[in-house]
Structure 1
Amino acid sequence: MFEFITDEEERGQVGIGTLIVFIAMVLVAAIAAGVLINTAGFLQSQAEQTGQQASSQVSDRVQEVVTTGNVTDSEIEWVNVTVTKAPGAGDIDLENSTVTWIGPSGTYSLVHQNQSESGNEFFTVNDVSDSDDSSPVLNDVGDRLQLSFNVTETDGFTGPLQEGDKVTLEVNTVSGATTTIQFAVPESLSGKNAVKL
Structure 2
Amino acid sequence: MARKESSIRADTSAQIGIGTLIIFIAMVLIAAVAASVLIQTSGVLQQKAQATGKQATQEVSSNLVIKSIDGVRAKNSSTSMAENISLLKIKVGLNVGSSPVDLNQLVISISDGTNINDLIYANNEKSYGTAMSNFSSSASADTNLEKLLVATQSSPGDNAKYFFTVSKIRDEDTSFSQGSPIMNTGDLVTIYVSTVSSADLEYTTIGPITTSGSQKDSSLDIEPRTSLTLVFTPEAGIVTSADFVTPSSYGTKETIQLYP
TM-score interval, smaller chain = 0.7 to 0.9
What are the Cα deviations for residues 127-168 of structure 1, in whole angstroms up to 9, with x where unaligned? 01111222211112x200111101115555224521222211
What are the Cα deviations for residues 26-73 of structure 1, in whole angstroms up to 9, with x where unaligned? 111111111011112212221232233233233312011111111221
Deviation at 1:182, TM superposition (A): 2.1
Contact 1:99 1:169 in 2 (8 A): yes
What SS does structure 2 have at the residue aligned with 1:16? helix
Give ranges in structure 1 of 5+ residues lacking alignment: none
Deviation at 1:11, TM superposition (A): 3.1
**Structure with more strand by fraction:** 1
1:144 aligns with 2:144: no
Q: What are the within-5 Å matches in structure 2 for residues 24-39 of structure 1?
A: 24-39=26-41
1:41 aligns with 2:50: no
Query: Which of 3, 19, 35 pairs up with 2:8?
Result: 3
Query: Which of 181, 191, 194 pairs up with 2:252?
Result: 191
Query: Which of 227, 230, 234 pairs up with 1:166?
Result: 227
**Structure with more helix by fraction:** 1
**Identity value in percent:** 32
Whole-Å separation in 2 of the counterparts to 1:60 and 1:98: 15
Give ranges in structure 2 of 5+ residues lacking alignment: 1-5, 75-80, 131-154, 198-214
Q: What are the within-5 Å matches in structure 2 for residues 44-193 of structure 1?
A: 44-72=46-74, 73=81, 74-115=83-124, 117=130, 118=155, 119=157, 121-135=162-176, 136-140=181-185, 142-153=186-197, 154-155=215-216, 157-175=218-236, 177-193=238-254
- Under a length normalisation based on structure 1, what TM-score does the superposition of the two structures give? 0.87
- Under a length normalisation based on structure 2, what TM-score does the superposition of the two structures give? 0.68
1:93 partner letter: D
> RMSD value over aligned CA atoms?
2.1
Deviation at 1:2, TM superposition (A): 4.0
How many residues are treated as equivalent by the alignment?
Answer: 193
